[in-house]
Amino acid sequence: MLDSALHLGHLHADDLDEFFAVLPRRYRRIRSLLDPRAESGAESLARLMLRTLGVDFEAQAEIAGVGRVDFLVNGWLIVECDSRAHHSDWAAQRRDRRRDQVAAARGYATFRPIAEDIFWDPAQVLAALRGLVGSLRRR
């Protein structure tokens, strides 16, 4: 929620820094976990999953010929957190699949967990991410 407030401009980083400065020390490390680039709660949770895995990733990465993606993991795996808000109609789904094809032609793989699973079955999403990231290491 704090990521979203930062992203939407409802909360400024300086104000947040002041807020965390008065909290007990044990809570201050949470500040480093916040990222205003997150465009949804699902992205915030996915980012924390990627941190848990200890992989290299870039949030809101720009890929030539593909566009901006939610996350680029280890330079080859695109992670897009899909929700009903932006991916519910057929036209949006068609655009997404065609973009995935363009990305694949450039050597990228795409994983699209849905927001519902990120929120309600994070263990499954984390297992899928772990499997995907581990698959390249085994090759």
Kindly report, residue by residue over 108-134, the tens digit of the pLDDT.
Answer: 999 999 999 999 999 999 999 999 999
Reading the block at residue 61, the tokens are: 């990465």
> 76, 105, 85, 74: which is closest to 39 by C-alpha?
85
DSSP string, 87-109: H-SHHHHHHHHHHHHHHHHTT-E
Domains defined for the chain, CATH in brackets: 1-36 (no CATH), 37-138 (3.40.960.10)
Pull the structure tokens for residue 32: 């480093």
More confident residue, 34 or 64: 64
Q: What does the alpha-carbon distance between residue 88 and residue 28 come to, in Å, rounded to a whole number?
A: 38
Q: Each residue of 50-104: pLDDT tens digit?
A: 999 999 999 999 999 999 999 999 999 999 998 776 656 888 889 999 999 999 9
Strand 77-79, strand 109-111: pairing:
parallel
Residue recorded with tokens 């990627």:
50
Residue 62 in tokens: 């720009």
Q: What is the pLDDT of residue 49?
A: 95
